Amino acid sequence: MALKDGELTVQADSTAWATQLRLLQRDLLVKIAAGVGRDVVRRLKVLGPSAPSWRYGPRHIAGRGPRDTYG
């Protein structure tokens, strides 16, 4: 979680939680404003979980790698 220039960035543990947070974004901003002040958090940026790294070993071939639900 990070707050910079009025934008609160949150990273969810799963894509399902990220979707729920995006759907509840307006309500969350109202509740945050009621708790900490009106102009402290103006935007909410929700990030999904980061994909695992498929780079193993010293050599790597350029490309997208395995295709699955990560991209």
pLDDT tens over the chain, length 71 residues: 899 999 999 999 999 999 999 999 999 999 999 999 998 999 999 999 887 766 677 776 676 666 655 54
pLDDT for residue 64? 64
Tokens 């974004």 sit at which residue? Answer: 25
Residue 48 vs residues 5, 19, 39: alpha-carbon distances, Å: 21, 8, 25
Tally: H helices and E strands in the chain = 2, 3
Residue 19 vs residues 1, 26, 47: alpha-carbon distances, Å: 17, 13, 9
Question: Distance (Å, rounded) from C-alpha 10 to C-alpha 13?
Answer: 10
pLDDT for residue 24? 96
Closest listed residue to residue 6, CA positions, set 45, 46, 58: 45
